[in-house]
Amino acid sequence: MFKSSFGRYLIAGAAIVTLSSIFISMKFTAKLLQTSSRTTRSVTAAREAPNYQFYKNEISSEPDGNLIDVIHKEWHGNHQLLEAHHGYIQWLFPVFENAGMNWRSEALTKAEAKEIREDLDCAKRVIKSYQLMLHFYGMELVDPSTGEIKRGKNWKSRYQNLSTHTHNFLRISRIITSLGELGFARYKRPFVEHLQKEIEDGILSNCKSSFEKFWLPLLDEKTKWYVQKTLETEADREDSVYFKDSESSDSQEEMSQ
């Protein structure tokens, strides 16, 4: 009799302990989910316009990147870094099509592109991004108002690098596309025509296939291939404020220095 009653007490006590544990576990889980939800909302809010925020110098490129102003200042001329690092080009030159080979970056949205085109500080940073890569390829921006370029002082060694490191061909396709979507469509033709001349002169002959299949077709906005490739509409090719703003003459003089 005593053993039976004692057994029932043990069972009842165990049940109470179990229910208490379950209750505590449920409260902990609910709190954890609430915290996780707040964190997710915070991260999502911070990345609603990552490409625009990057060009506003508010967030760093990922992975192993930096703020855009730091990249422009400290990475310029660091050819070894620019060659080996594969996570910055998608941030400097975002496109509608996709984020490329970097899951820490995101495709450019139409809204972001419009914001960048309408922001003079962002526009100046687009030009600096372009100058950074032109120098890397052995070229130089002559006229920021037209996009005219020429060989840089370092062209021999950089052309050799470009010819032998073919992953740069994909980078050039991205740069051409991005220029058009960020408000610098007028830069595309001078770039492609400069490449064409160097290819025809035999200096960049290794680039011929990419030129014919991708770079040159990226100038023909009316083809089905172009529309499918870039996802652009005519409105997406609107000029940057850089070419419209009352300060543009001062800006162009500053960028050409």
Quick one: 17 and 141 in the same domain? Answer: no
- CA gap 4, 84 in Å, rounded: 76
- CA gap 255, 216 in Å, rounded: 27
Quick one: 42 and 54 in the same domain? Answer: no
Q: How many domains does the chain have?
A: 2
Residue 250 structural domain: 50-256
Quick one: 83 and 176 in the same domain? Answer: yes
Quick one: 184 and 87 in the same domain? Answer: yes
Q: What is the pLDDT of residues 24-81, one digit of tens each?
A: 454 544 453 454 444 433 344 456 899 999 999 999 999 999 999 999 999 999 999 9
Quick one: 118 and 198 in the same domain? Answer: yes
Q: What is the pLDDT of residues 67-77, one digit of tens each?
A: 999 999 999 99
Q: What is the pLDDT of residues 134-183, one digit of tens each?
A: 999 999 999 999 999 999 999 999 999 999 999 999 999 999 999 999 99
Quick one: 21 and 103 in the same domain? Answer: no
Phi, psi of 108 (to 5 degrees): -70, 135
Quick one: 4 and 120 in the same domain? Answer: no
Orientation angle between helical segments 188-200 and 167-181, nearest 10 degrees: 150
Virtual torsion, Cα 131, 136, 137, 139, nearest 10 deg: 40
Quick one: 76 and 188 in the same domain? Answer: yes
54 by Cβ neighbours in 10 Å (0-12 / 13-18 / 19+) ranks as buried
pTM to 2 decimals?
0.80
Quick one: 112 and 40 in the same domain? Answer: no
Quick one: 102 and 125 in the same domain? Answer: yes
